[in-house]
Structure 1
Amino acid sequence: MKQSLTLSWLLAVAFFAHSQSFNNLPVNTQKPPLHGRHWMAITGKPLAATAGAMIFTKGGNAVDASCAMLAATCTMWDVLSWGGETQALIYNPKTKKVIAINALGVAPTGATPEFFKGKGMKYPPEYGPLAAVTPGTPGGLMVMLAEFGTMSLKEVLAPAMQMAEGYPIEAQTANSIERGKEQIKQWKYSTKVFLPHLGEKREAPNAGEIFVQKDLLETLKKLVEAEQEALKKGKNRKEAIYAAYDRFYKGDIAKEFARGCQEQGGLITEQDLANWKVKIEEPLMTTYKGIEVYKLQQWTQGPAMLQTLNILENFDLKSMGYNSTRYIHTLYQAMNLAFADRDFYYGDPAFPPDEPIKGLLSKEYAKERAKLINPDRNDPNAKPGDPYPFEGKTNPYLTLLEKWGTAHLHKPTSQNPLDENFLEEFAAGTTSVEAADKEGWVVSITPSGGWVPACIAGNTGIGMSQRMQSFVLDEKENPFNVVAPGKRPRVTLTPSMALKDGKPFLSFAKQAGDEQDQLLIQFFLNMVEFNMTVQEACEAPSFKTYQMYSSFGKHEKAVGSLTLNSEMPAWIRKELSRMGYKITYQDRTSGPINAIYFDWENGSFWGGSSNHGEDYGIGW
């Protein structure tokens, strides 16, 4: 089977290079596509997809189901937990508009550049209580459910609560806990939850062992109790859910969360929790060949995908051929330019200075950026541009731009061009949630934060976020993303949605830190330019660039580094090497991407999920 697939992809690459079309090419995907007429539920864990299916079968809509999947993935510590952050796009069939959900936490009281520099840090830490912004996922889930769902919090949390009572933990998470156990032992509340075999050779749970989370279960019970008590007092469904929201952020749960955080050296206060609010926002949008593509605002990296698509509209990608040398080079260069802008100009729009997002997303600015692409060589010095003139303003940061981009370069060796720590920081994982129903609701979520090894806040059972590390401490790196109390960091998390002819066309997202938008672009182009099915597009070999600053750890970048699929033909490898690329290889470079395609001709959904990890779904 493996030899057959290898031959299939080699033939596919050769075919694209010559015929420049994916039409009529038979490709045997490793996972079959999902099909459904009534609903579709896809996420990072099979058990969590089942949770979504359970809600659908009880009559819930796509928002209800996506909230159940989100709750389940958080309970499974699928490289995220309840104390992390949630970012979502929702298509509302009643208004025929896409809505953005901003449930990212903020830096707590006392989180200033001077505080972290005083501790000898170049950036906020990667792990522990000082890495935490306020928890966003509980609020995000409850706001989505209250505003756009149909079911009660009790119904939607039921699968997650059953799992908190005990579920058979999978090997991936169990082994991750074992690998991180020395760090986990620094925090007593984490030790209590994660290491049931303390003192034995293996202290983490074994694969298949029933993993019990009593404290988390009590926290979830408190949320349901608050909702049910409000209903008994005559409150409606929406008001009752907000009563649970208030208990989390202003009641006894908040009190214990703040106490547990501060006991372990963190900064989050009860007032920080009470002041934080979920934001329902307008998403950003651009068009690519008439297709509307939606992303969250510039507090995420999402607009970089929109910028890249604007640049790529100036090239005939289809004529280059799928994954040809010219195609890979053009995408790589376009992404470098967009991500350089991301690294310097993106930040929380609620805080000054105002990001020049209008200029960054203008088609005219993209044309000027496209002119910078050298067709024959990689540009190792790609820098942010000047979008201010494209919105009628003067750039106040020209002096900073002149000196930008010389720090934090990853220093590869001939034996190890990309070391393990760099790759781990660059592609820090999360998950994604995709859901759609026959009424027209569509949901795309990229939640994250509080991954293993997580510091649990007191007796809440909730792992705290690690998102503080995405801030910078020096405006020379990014004047829009300097840490400040109450401010959201610029994050990598970036759900996606596309509309065609005024109707949903694609809902798609992926995990893995700074990799997200660069692989989502390739997935999108696989379908739009090369006519792949959604499953083919999810599995198709992608390439990766590291010529942008990592949003994690040491915030390094690796100039000219390019990861190709190991099945890439030798002649393309040689051509790219001559163009100045430092090439590494991976067997699977497809994601994991999760996606739903809307087949309006047949009135059905197609679901796709990469052949990379446990992601998959269920349709009906």
Structure 2
Amino acid sequence: MKHLLLTGCLLAAVLTVAAQQTQKPPLHGKHWMAITGKPLAATAGSMIFQKGGNAIDAACAMLAATCTMWDVLSWGGETQALIYNPKTKKVIGINALGVAPTGATAAHFKSQGLDFPPEFGPQAAVTPGTPAGLCHMLAEYGTMSLKQILAPAMELAAGYPIEAQTANSIERGKARIKEWPYSKAVFLTHPGEKREAPEAGEIFVQKDLLETLKKMVQAEEEALKQKKSRKEAIYAAATRFYKGDIAKEFVRGCQEQGGLITMQDLANYKIYEEEPMHTNYKGIDVYKLSQWTQGPMMLQALNILENFDLKKMGYNSAEYIHTVYQAMNLSFADRDFYYGDPYFPPEEPMKGLLSKAYARQRAGLISADKNDAMAGPGDPYPFEGKSNPYLELLKKRGLLIDTTKRSNPQFMPSHDVRNSSAYIHNSELEDSLYHDRLWRGTTSVEAADESGWVVSITPSGGWIPACIAGKTGVGMSQRMQSFVTNPELNPFNVVEPGKRPRVTLTPSLALKNGKPYLSFAVQGGDTQDQNLLQFFLNMVEFGMTVQQATEAANINSNQLWLSLGGTKEKDRQPRAGHLLLKNTTPEPVRNVLKQMGYTLSFDDRTSGPINAIWFDWEHGSFWGGSSNHGEDYGIGW
């Protein structure tokens, strides 16, 4: 075994990562950088920069454009952002995730025979968060008017040449789209024909959405005429969306189709500006949004991995893959049980989960030569000086405390996981559905400017096939499905009105020596922090450039509870020891991993499209990286 491990390490070391050729060139800029999920949306950001806007202005324009272009999200979705403020030298968190509406209770969904809220349709919707989030970021930290920021999006809504990726997504989802009259009217531009969706390059027009955006701009202009400040005028636009005629039509259209959102739900909605969570990894401060996202999972994994010499193991050696996989599984097990909305009781034990001492305990559980198929949540409460109030719940769920491993308690799931034999012979259809749920996408927005503002956003929700709310042109979110109805799965994330689900959406910022070092994000459901963790390590441990790191081969663990897709617990159960590798992985590395107990699958794509900006302080410039997967695109100057 040691010989095989060494062979795997040496083979990996032969891959001189510093000399890797990339499929896309790195981006370079001195004044600004704009990167997002669609070329036209990146162009929208560049237009704002060229008109004198700062990184917040440009990011908001890109966010508006991606929502309008249905880049795996819509205007009815949610926005998660991190902002570096050069004036205060602080990182700010923006929580613009919608909440469960009136009537959205565990009992309501259980009465429909569901273990999780539905994947699609009006009852999958939390309240829209993106309009409020965009207006808040622009009002508080931007410099331009909403009219200026929305101008590119409004031009797109008036008609733009739709890309093949979105057009084909509409065609694939047309059976479900036909269930909702307002969606059908917008998306199926050739009703009754063999292909009912738009063709690639066809001018795709969204009259209703354009009218909604015009109403928001009108509200801003009316406020300015009344001598309101720029900030007040922008908030007036948000008020019209959440309390005015836009809200009335949104609610009418939602309820007509069976949705739960009320006028009061929209009127009561507010976003939160938060202090993000962070950890220090080898002198680099890494920031993530708090436990209403999966972001702290990456911080936990970094804390665990800090106890190992990853560089010595070698990039994607068998030993490295195994160690990273185990660290991720332990962190995911904690995510799956302890994360939830911090504004609702009970209080999550985040201090304990992110403590270095807890990470050392978790690192001590990692076996050097085999996968731990039974890895489960740990007990972070003693690291906060508290007793765990959920021991009985964990035991009831079938999780027993194992005190045999270095006298450190760990919960061992007896029924949470499916072993390899349980799914290896599953049909291709079931496997395809599983990985669709694992990878279910969103987009990302990265922006930076020479004055020091940096923005990282992972917006999502309202993806195709989306249910459009009335004549607003706004697709409703599908984020309700990330709640649970069974407190035995996660007592912190049980659905109830006014509460936010624990989401996968996870922008990232890193500082070094008190200055911006990296801004990075990715799409891809439960794989997001897996991809971002390895991207970060690729740069910090293995010296890759930002573009090399976005394109580099990753590994994906399926040993986690899925956050999206399927309405039964069996649909989302972890797949113990299942490991996705790049199809170019050397045979000796594969053999070692099989001996460790892994079930391997291979693909030419092992990461969602990562977008990132690296700050080159030595030369006073930006390096941008945009993955070679998908349509993601960047522009710098």
TM-score interval, normalised by the smaller of the two chains? over 0.9
Aligned residue for 1:27?
20
Give the distance between the partners of 1:149 and 1:456, measured in 2 at CA.
29
Give deviations 1:1-58, integer Å, cap 9, x for gaps.
xxxxxxxxxxxx9777447974xx4221000000000000000000000000000000
Give deviations 1:398-448, integer Å, cap 9, x for gaps.
122232442474841336587000000111100000000000000000000
418-427 or 209-218, larger mean C-alpha shift: 418-427
Aligned residue for 2:516?
504
Aligned residue for 1:540?
552
Unaligned runs of 5+ in 2: 1-7, 400-412, 567-571
SS in 2 for 1:90: strand
2:476 paired with 1:483: no
Letter in structure 2 aligned against 1:464: M
2:589 paired with 1:577: no
Aligned residue for 2:301?
308
Aligned residue for 1:49?
42
Give the distance between the partners of 2:377 and 2:73, measured in 1 at CA.
32
Q: How far is the alpha carbon of 1:174 from its aligned partner?
A: 0.4
Is contact 2:611–2:626 with CA below 8 Å preserved after alignment?
yes
Aligned pairs for 1:44-83 within 5 A = 44-83=37-76
Give the distance between the partners of 1:591 and 1:583, measured in 2 at CA.
19
Give the distance between the partners of 1:17 and 1:522, measured in 2 at CA.
15
Give the distance between the partners of 2:269 and 2:294, measured in 1 at CA.
22
Give the distance between the partners of 1:70 and 1:560, measured in 2 at CA.
37
Find 2:236's aligned residue among 243, 258, 262.
Answer: 243
Find 2:627's aligned residue among 604, 610, 616.
Answer: 610
SS in 1 for 2:635: strand
Aligned pairs for 1:515-530 within 5 A = 515-530=527-542
Is contact 2:35–2:445 with CA below 8 Å preserved after alignment?
yes
Give the distance between the partners of 1:28 and 1:184, measured in 2 at CA.
42
Aligned residue for 1:119?
112
Letter in structure 2 aligned against 1:608: G
Give the distance between the partners of 2:28 and 2:56, measured in 1 at CA.
19
Aligned pairs for 1:364-403 within 5 A = 364-402=357-395, 403=398
Letter in structure 1 aligned against 2:161: P
Give the distance between the partners of 1:378 and 1:15, measured in 2 at CA.
21
Aligned residue for 1:413?
424
Is contact 1:86–1:103 with CA below 8 Å preserved after alignment?
yes
Q: How far is the alpha carbon of 1:611 from its aligned partner?
A: 1.1
Give the distance between the partners of 2:219 and 2:282, measured in 1 at CA.
49
Aligned residue for 1:362?
355
2:278 paired with 1:294: no
Letter in structure 2 aligned against 1:440: G
2:579 paired with 1:597: no
Is contact 2:417–2:576 with CA below 8 Å preserved after alignment?
no
Give the distance between the partners of 1:369 and 1:569, measured in 2 at CA.
30
SS in 1 for 2:530: helix
Q: How far is the alpha carbon of 1:304 from its aligned partner?
A: 0.1
Give deviations 1:329-372, integer Å, cap 9, x for gaps.
00000000000000000000000000000000000000000000
Letter in structure 2 aligned against 1:278: I
Aligned residue for 1:252?
245
Distance 1:202 1:21, change over 3 A: closer
Distance 1:18 1:536, change over 3 A: closer
2:571 paired with 1:560: no
Letter in structure 2 aligned against 1:151: M
Give the distance between the partners of 1:534 and 1:421, measured in 2 at CA.
32
Is contact 1:249–1:274 with CA below 8 Å preserved after alignment?
yes
SS in 1 for 2:91: strand
SS in 2 for 1:613: coil
SS in 2 for 1:141: helix
TM-score, normalising length: structure 2: 0.94
Aligned residue for 1:451?
463
Q: How far is the alpha carbon of 1:535 from its aligned partner?
A: 0.5
Is contact 2:48–2:57 with CA below 8 Å preserved after alignment?
yes
Is contact 1:348–1:480 with CA below 8 Å preserved after alignment?
yes
Give the distance between the partners of 1:474 and 1:590, measured in 2 at CA.
31
SS in 2 for 1:450: coil
Aligned pairs for 1:179-198 within 5 A = 179-198=172-191
Give the distance between the partners of 1:416 and 1:565, measured in 2 at CA.
22
Q: How far is the alpha carbon of 1:394 from its aligned partner?
A: 0.3
Q: How far is the alpha carbon of 1:590 from its aligned partner?
A: 3.6
Give the distance between the partners of 1:408 and 1:320, measured in 2 at CA.
29
Aligned residue for 1:206?
199
2:563 paired with 1:551: yes
Give deviations 1:498-528, integer Å, cap 9, x for gaps.
0000000000000010000011000000000
Give deviations 1:44-76, integer Å, cap 9, x for gaps.
000000000000000000000000000000000
Distance 1:15 1:234, change over 3 A: farther
Unaligned runs of 5+ in 1: 1-12
Letter in structure 2 aligned against 1:179: R
Give the distance between the partners of 2:368 and 2:289, measured in 1 at CA.
31
Aligned pairs for 1:121-136 within 5 A = 121-136=114-129
Q: How far is the alpha carbon of 1:478 from its aligned partner?
A: 0.1
Aligned residue for 2:5?
none
SS in 2 for 1:584: strand
Letter in structure 2 aligned against 1:605: F
Letter in structure 1 aligned against 2:444: S
2:488 paired with 1:471: no
Distance 1:322 1:408, change over 3 A: closer
Give the distance between the partners of 1:279 and 1:74, measured in 2 at CA.
21
Give the distance between the partners of 1:203 and 1:408, measured in 2 at CA.
41
Is contact 2:9–2:313 with CA below 8 Å preserved after alignment?
no
TM-score, normalising length: structure 1: 0.96
Distance 1:76 1:382, change over 3 A: same
Letter in structure 2 aligned against 1:379: D
Give deviations 1:121-162, integer Å, cap 9, x for gaps.
111000000000000001100000000000000000000000
Give the distance between the partners of 1:101 and 1:336, measured in 2 at CA.
27
Is contact 2:9–2:318 with CA below 8 Å preserved after alignment?
no
Letter in structure 2 aligned against 1:181: K
Letter in structure 2 aligned against 1:144: M
Equivalenced residue count is 606
Aligned pairs for 1:210-225 within 5 A = 210-225=203-218
SS in 1 for 2:131: helix
Give the distance between the partners of 2:587 and 2:13, measured in 1 at CA.
16
Is contact 1:538–1:591 with CA below 8 Å preserved after alignment?
no
Give the distance between the partners of 2:202 and 2:384, measured in 1 at CA.
58
Letter in structure 1 aligned against 2:584: E
Give the distance between the partners of 1:156 and 1:384, measured in 2 at CA.
44
Aligned residue for 1:104?
97
Give deviations 1:66-98, integer Å, cap 9, x for gaps.
000000000000110000000000000000000
Q: How far is the alpha carbon of 1:231 from its aligned partner?
A: 0.5
2:145 paired with 1:152: yes
SS in 2 for 1:419: helix
> Cα RMSD (Å) of the superposition?
1.3
Distance 1:397 1:14, change over 3 A: closer
SS in 1 for 2:423: coil
Q: How far is the alpha carbon of 1:588 from its aligned partner?
A: 2.1
